[in-house]
Every structure is written in C-alpha cells, then in structure tokens.
A and B are shown apart, each in its own frame.
Chain A
Amino acid sequence: MNAIEASHLIKRFGSVTAVNDVSLTVCEGEIFGFLGPNGTGKTTTMRQLTGVLTPDSGAVRINGIDIHRHPLEAKMQMGVIPENSTVYGDLSAEQNLSLSGQMYGMPRADRDKRIDEFFSRMGLSEKRKLPVRGFSKGMKQRVSIACAIIHRPPLLLLDEPTSGLDVQSRRLVIDTIRDMNEQGSTIFLTTHNIEEANTLCQTVCILNKGKIVAQDSPERLKKMFNTTQSVEVSFDRPVTRDLFAAEGILRAESCGDKWKIFTDNPDQVLKYLVGRAERESITITSLTTSGPSLEEAFVRITECA
C-alpha cells in the first residue's frame, strides 16, 4: 500500500491557481523530497496532504484512507511539522509533548515513557519543566519534532524542518528523520536545501508554478542533465568574472573564495584554466571536477518549465 496517494489536486485562491493538477505517490518506507522555488505551491500542497486545506478538486489517501472523508482516522496515521509553526510557548516542553500525546490518544503511561525517552535523547532534560517561550529556535524545533513523532506515526510530513537552524540542531533533525525512516516510517520532506534532499531522499519531486515538473530518484534527475559538469577552482588571489569568459564555459559562480564553473567539456576548461593561470602568473590553490548536481538539475528543470 502507498503511504500517500494524491490525485489531481487543484487549489485556487481567487483567480490564482496555487496547485494545478498535482498527482503524486509516496511509497511506504521511503523518504520523499518535495522541492520547488518559493511561492510555487509546496506548502499549499502539503496542507492538502495533511488535511489542513480541502482541495477544490482531487483526492488524498493516507495509507488508503481518504483524508477529506475520514480526516481523523487519516490524521492518526501521521505526524506533521508545519512550516513556521511552533509549539505552545506558554507551556513547558513536557506539557507540549503531553498535549501532543493526548491529541493522539496515547495512554498516560506510554506518554510518560515516551516523553522521558525524548528528553534524554534531545539533551533537554534540564529544561523539560521550563516554558518553551525562552528556548532557542533549535530547541523549539526539537520539541516540535518530538511532538510530531511522539505516537510513532507511520508517516511523517515535514515542511522545511531545518530552515534557519544551527548545525547541531540541523544534524539532530536529520538524524531523527533517518531514525524514523529506519524504524519503518515514511517521510515526506519539503525543503529548499537541495543537498539535504540529495543525501536523504530516495525520490525527489520538483514543483514549479503549481505543477509537478519532475519526479524521480536524485541520481536519475541528475542524469537528465548529464551534459553539464562543474569545475571548482580557487586561486591565490582574487580574480574577476572576466577570467571565465571562454569557449566551453556555460556559467561561472563565485562561491566564497572559490569559483564554480559549469561546462559540458571539462577537459577544455581545465586546459584553459591552467594555461590562463600560467600566462597571468596566478597560482591555482585547488582544482576539482564534479559530475552533474541535483542543484543544477533543479535549476534547469525549474527554468525550463
């Protein structure tokens, strides 16, 4: 059985069609990445999948249950971390988790056991009785995730879960996603972070202007644009973009103290760079080549559509 089956979802707000005939299937046990530029309908789609919004047409089934006909039974199957949503600041972390457990109908003993597990794992044991209002963003997000998975849902939907988090909190979130997946949960992940999607997801779906423009495994998506590779180079002194105006170079992007050069002929570019550096007495401090990236595929797909 598929964890999520969405068919022909359409959602309009006035004259704007935010989601235009979106159909997707998320297989049980997979990590599914949902990508797209800002304002493209990702959150609206996710809200329809979680039953927060009712689509103008189309249907959503969660583990075979139609969420708009049987919202409560379908919602029992999932844990949700909405974008920008937080937990109750006036309640303590423990009270927030307890409230969440009550919402999912967990017996008190199970709830208390699970809450203890979370606090020892999240490193928040000392703060469990304190109001969440005083927590950092990363700590709030940890509590938020704990609230969503307290009932061990077979399906976890996360909307931008790592956005704005520090490295430690981000890693904890990623580890939690991986752990949940290893324990059998299906993960639906909306993210802007292409690298995150690349390393975590078995399937990636790209949404643009309310429509799905690509859906496949990250590796297959990269191969769609196999002609484009990149060369990363850094020099001992700053150089200008003019240096990269040469045959075979499609695009050059400054990345900190390095330049990333996109090309369909890395051999030609490497020879050009070495020769040019020698002529201008510039020392190359690092030089690497890499295959097509998911980011490149994402940019190309969303530009084409």
Chain B
Amino acid sequence: MEIPLALRGIIVITRKNMRLYYTKPPVLMFGLLFPLFMFFAFFVGRKLDLVTFFPAFLAMMLFFTASSVGPLITPWEKREKTYERLLSYPVTQDSIILGDVVAGAVFGIGISLLVWIASLFFIPVAITSIGLFALAFILGTLSCAALGALLASPASDSPPNVIIFSNLIRFPLIFISGIFVPLTQMQGPGLALAFCSPLTYLVDLFNAAMSGTSVFSPAVDCCMLAGISVVFILAARLIQTRNLVKGL
C-alpha cells in the first residue's frame, strides 16, 4: 500500500509546486531571463558559429531552468509556515524532495523544448541521434533539478539567502563546463574542474546528439548524469533530514 501512496504524494506535490512556484519572480529571473541574457552577452554580435555553440547554449538553458525551481520551494514553504503541514500529510520527506525534483525537471524540459523549437526557425540545427537527444533532455533535467533540490537544503527559511547561495554555486559552473570554451580547448586545472561539473557531461551529450562529436562516450555521459542525480538526491535527503526542524 505504501508505494502507490508514495507515488500519489509525489504527483500531488509536483502539481502543487508547478502551480505555486513556476511564476515566482526568482524562478523567472534566474531560470528564464538569466540564461537568455547570457546567450545575448556571449553569442550575439560576435562572429561565432551559432550552430556549433547551440548544444552548449541548450545545455545552459536546461541547466538554469531545471535548477531554478528547487532552491526556492523548501525555504519558501518554511517561511510561509506551510512546510510542517505538508509533512503531516500522507507523504514522506523523500516524496517531498522527489516532488521538488520532478517539478524542476518538468520546468526545465518545457522551457528548453520551447527554446529549441523556437531556435529551429532561426538556426539550422541538426540532430544526429534523436534517442541521445531525448536522453540528454531527460537525464540533464533530472540531474539539474536534483542539484536544485540539493541547493534548497541549507537550514534557512529565507528564500533570498538560498537563491543567492544557489547562484554562487550555479554561475561558476557555466564557465568551467565547456559552454563558452569547448572542452577540447581546455587544459590543466580548467579541464580538471570541468570533469567535476555535471553540466560538462550534459554539454558533451548534447554535442554527441546534435553534431555527432563528443569528448566522452555518450554512455559515460549518461552514466555520469544518472549517477550525479542519485548522489544529489541522496545528499539533499541527508541534509534536509538533518535540518528538518530548523525553520518549521
């Protein structure tokens, strides 16, 4: 009986998150506008091959959208004093974290798909492997949304503090993950750092799916993204359990 109840809890929490948090200003600002501004800042007006850089841009878009919802939810609920009520419903903390991850993933997939579809009208981007492209979307949104849930874990009932903290983590990642400087051109410590970033494997997987070239094997990229998702979710669970009482 517990598994169907748990699944129902995840679905209801996901729907609640979608209704409540998708239109919150921090989500729109840092999940939607910020990656667009980054695109304009780095790609527009410069003599760059947009087709070559498009997989990296799509990965950046997906990264920011999928990881922008998670950090907001728990601090917001703690501040609004709705978190304890949520915990007292027939859900567990695992259901709450997974509901947050799925809500972030759906937001990431939705917005990034829209961006990709809109881009088809302006940029002749090709897809060499539909399967890999779909896998990149799914694993990418999952890992980025899991990062979002992990970033919500600090014991705080102040959404602005958590958003600032999450941006401190997220922004540097886009500079070390092969978005603006391709992995093949990176060397030394920069390349070592790139290996530590989940975004690197997403950019690489999109490159494999769209241009057929990648630094790592797509299988390695997929395993890394799946593994990172699991690690992020388990870490979020551990930290949120420890910080459960703070801010209730």
Question: Which A residues form the contact surface with B (CB < 8 A)?
Answer: 13, 47, 50-53, 70-73, 75-76, 78, 80, 82, 84-91, 95, 99-100, 102-105, 144, 147
Which segment of B80-88, B106-114, B120-128 sits at the interface?
B80-88
A117 to B212, CA, bound (A): 61
Report B-chain residues with C-beta under 8 Å of the C-beta of A51.
87-88
A84 near B81 (CB under 8 angstroms)?
yes
Given that A89-B80, A103-B90 are contacting pairs, would A72 and B2 also be in contact in the complex, using a CB cutoff of 8 Å? Answer: yes
22 A–B contact pairs at CB < 8 A?
Answer: A50-B88, A51-B87, A52-B84, A72-B5, A72-B9, A72-B90, A72-B91, A72-B92, A75-B88, A76-B90, A82-B84, A85-B82, A86-B81, A86-B82, A86-B85, A91-B19, A95-B19, A103-B9, A104-B89, A104-B90, A105-B5, A144-B85
A70 near B2 (CB under 8 angstroms)?
yes
A75 near B2 (CB under 8 angstroms)?
no
B88 near A52 (CB under 8 angstroms)?
yes
Q: Nearest Cβ distance between residue A14 and chain B, in whole angstroms?
A: 11
Interface hub of A90, A100, A144 (most chain B Cβ within 10 A): A90
- Across the interface, A99 reaches (CB within 8 A) one of B8, B16, B83, B84, namely B16
Contact residues of B between 44 and 96, Cβ < 8 Å to A: 80-85, 87-92
Given contacts A53-B245, A76-B90, 19 further A-B pairs with CB under 8 A are A52-B244, A53-B244, A72-B1, A72-B2, A72-B6, A75-B90, A82-B88, A84-B81, A85-B82, A86-B82, A87-B82, A90-B20, A91-B19, A91-B20, A102-B15, A103-B12, A104-B90, A105-B8, A147-B85
Contact residues of B between 1 and 27, Cβ < 8 Å to A: 1-2, 5-6, 8-9, 12, 15-16, 19-20
Q: Nearest Cβ distance between residue A17 and chain B, in whole angstroms?
A: 15
Which single residue of chain B is at the shortest CB-CB distance from A52?
B87
Interface hub of A13, A84, A99 (most chain B Cβ within 10 A): A99
Report B-chain residues with C-beta under 8 Å of the C-beta of A147.
85
Question: Which B residues form the contact surface with A (CB < 8 A)?
Answer: 1-2, 5-6, 8-9, 12, 15-16, 19-20, 80-85, 87-92, 244-245, 248
- Across the interface, B80 reaches (CB within 8 A) one of A80, A88, A100, namely A88
Report A-chain residues with C-beta under 8 Å of the C-beta of B9.
72, 103
Report A-chain residues with C-beta under 8 Å of the C-beta of B1.
72-73
Report A-chain residues with C-beta under 8 Å of the C-beta of B91.
72, 75, 103
A53 to B88, CA, bound (A): 10
Report A-chain residues with C-beta under 8 Å of the C-beta of B81.
84-86
Report B-chain residues with C-beta under 8 Å of the C-beta of A105.
5, 8, 90
Q: Nearest Cβ distance between residue A83 and chain B, in whole angstroms?
A: 8
Which single residue of chain A is at the shortest CB-CB distance from B83?
A85
Report A-chain residues with C-beta under 8 Å of the C-beta of B82.
85-88
Q: Nearest Cβ distance between residue B19 and chain A, in whole angstroms?
A: 7
Q: Nearest Cβ distance between residue A143 and chain B, in whole angstroms?
A: 11
Report B-chain residues with C-beta under 8 Å of the C-beta of A82.
84-85, 88
A249 to B2, CA, bound (A): 61
A103 to B87, CA, bound (A): 11
B12 near A99 (CB under 8 angstroms)?
yes
A85 near B245 (CB under 8 angstroms)?
no
A85 to B248, CA, bound (A): 8
Q: Nearest Cβ distance between residue B5 and chain A, in whole angstroms?
A: 4
Report A-chain residues with C-beta under 8 Å of the C-beta of B245.
13, 53
Which single residue of chain B is at the shortest CB-CB distance from A103?
B89
A285 to B83, CA, bound (A): 52
Report B-chain residues with C-beta under 8 Å of the C-beta of A73.
1-2, 5, 90
A104 to B88, CA, bound (A): 11
Which single residue of chain B is at the shortest CB-CB distance from A72?
B5
Which single residue of chain A is at the shortest CB-CB distance from B82?
A88
A76 near B5 (CB under 8 angstroms)?
yes
A165 to B155, CA, bound (A): 30
Q: Which 10 A-B pairs have the closest CB atoms?
A: A80-B88, A75-B90, A72-B5, A103-B89, A82-B84, A85-B85, A52-B87, A85-B84, A102-B12, A72-B90
Which single residue of chain A is at the shortest CB-CB distance from B13?
A103
Report A-chain residues with C-beta under 8 Å of the C-beta of B5.
72-73, 76, 105
Report B-chain residues with C-beta under 8 Å of the C-beta of A75.
88-91
Report B-chain residues with C-beta under 8 Å of the C-beta of A87.
82, 85
Q: Nearest Cβ distance between residue A73 and chain B, in whole angstroms?
A: 6
